[in-house]
Structure 1
């Protein structure tokens, strides 16, 4: 999903079009069309620009899901896993990072430089659904804090899940949620 397909982009383009329409109507001495274009175009344009400035794009797939993974998500995955995928695969506005409130509750949020969710992956693990979330960390020391929270992650995301934290490199961890 490119940034041109975001709701903020569509609203900005609509506002720009209405504003240009109003300016052309003004130049051609059409007062009614002028008012319509400018009085509706400028607020829509400003609203679109405001959305664009606080936009958080959907998290990309590390590997595109295959048919088997999608079937498992619909049949075997827990409600929490399905909600996580829905939540991070849509455009967000006014947040610094995906899963902001969850990371704050887990005490894995670090002020102005939060961990960033950089990718998702779905896997079939012996007929069970596994959702893998890859986080980019700010410092090398943070990975230790994530490893220490493994038990809390399993409890936080609810019953029916096993959680594992895998350190990919000192500044990158994966949280794997496996349905039971």
Structure 2
């Protein structure tokens, strides 16, 4: 993903270019060019800076775009929507899935959990997902207490499994209820391919 092409960056650069063109036109006496470019450029520049201060980058999608397109016909709509929601730029939010984490009581206002990666997992029994979170200010015990509720929250027919990666990160794996063993082995295969 190219962070230079973030909407906030594009708007800020566009506004800055228009402002510079307008300023140069004003200083050289080209009133026809200076008025519209300054009139539009400066507010666009300020708006872009405002977006940059509230920017939340997308979570990293592990699957290829081809795999994601193939999954759209088979995976539950809730999972496809989840992937779409967390893999786009967000503005004015502290974390992806902010409202969901608040409902699940997995929220800390000062240091919320951050979704870093998402991966669709395919198994013979259907599709699931793996979400990698930085815990932030929410203790691991609170995640473990809500493991059953996490199973029912994102889509029906899934079972949640928490895997502790280190003291600050966890994997939340949501698997079809009959596919826990097969998807886990596929996930391990994917990790080994990535490390090569």
TM-score of the alignment, normalized to the shorter chain, above 0.5: yes
Residue equivalent to 1:5 = 5
* Range 167-176 or range 118-127, more displaced: 118-127
- CA drift of 1:66 comes to 7.3
Unaligned runs of 5+ in 2: 178-196
Counterpart-to-counterpart distance in 1, 2:120 and 2:160: 14
Q: Indicate the structure with greater helix content.
A: 2
Q: Following superposition of structure 1 onto structure 2, how do residues 29-44 of structure 1 map, counting pairs within 5 Å?
A: 29-44=29-44
Residue equivalent to 1:92 = 90
Number of residue equivalences: 177
Unaligned runs of 5+ in 1: none
Q: Greater relative contact order: 1 or 2 (C-alpha under 8 angstroms, separation 6 or more)?
A: 1
| Contact preservation (8 Å) 1:116, 1:136 | yes
Alignment partner of 1:173 is 2:151: no
Provide TM-score, normalisation by structure 1: 0.89
Provide TM-score, normalisation by structure 2: 0.83
The 4+ residue runs of structure 1 with deviation greater than 6 A are: none
Counterpart-to-counterpart distance in 2, 1:49 and 1:66: 31
Superposition RMSD on alpha carbons, in Å?
Answer: 1.9
Give SS of 1:48's match: helix
Counterpart-to-counterpart distance in 2, 1:125 and 1:66: 18
Alignment partner of 1:142 is 2:139: yes
| Shift in CA distance, 179/76, structure 1 to aligned 2, threshold 3 Å | farther
Counterpart-to-counterpart distance in 2, 1:48 and 1:2: 17
- Superposed CA deviations along residues 77-132 of structure 1, whole A, max 9, x for unmatched, are 21111111000000000011110000000000012001111111222233521210
Q: 2:160 aligns with which of 154, 159, 163?
A: 163
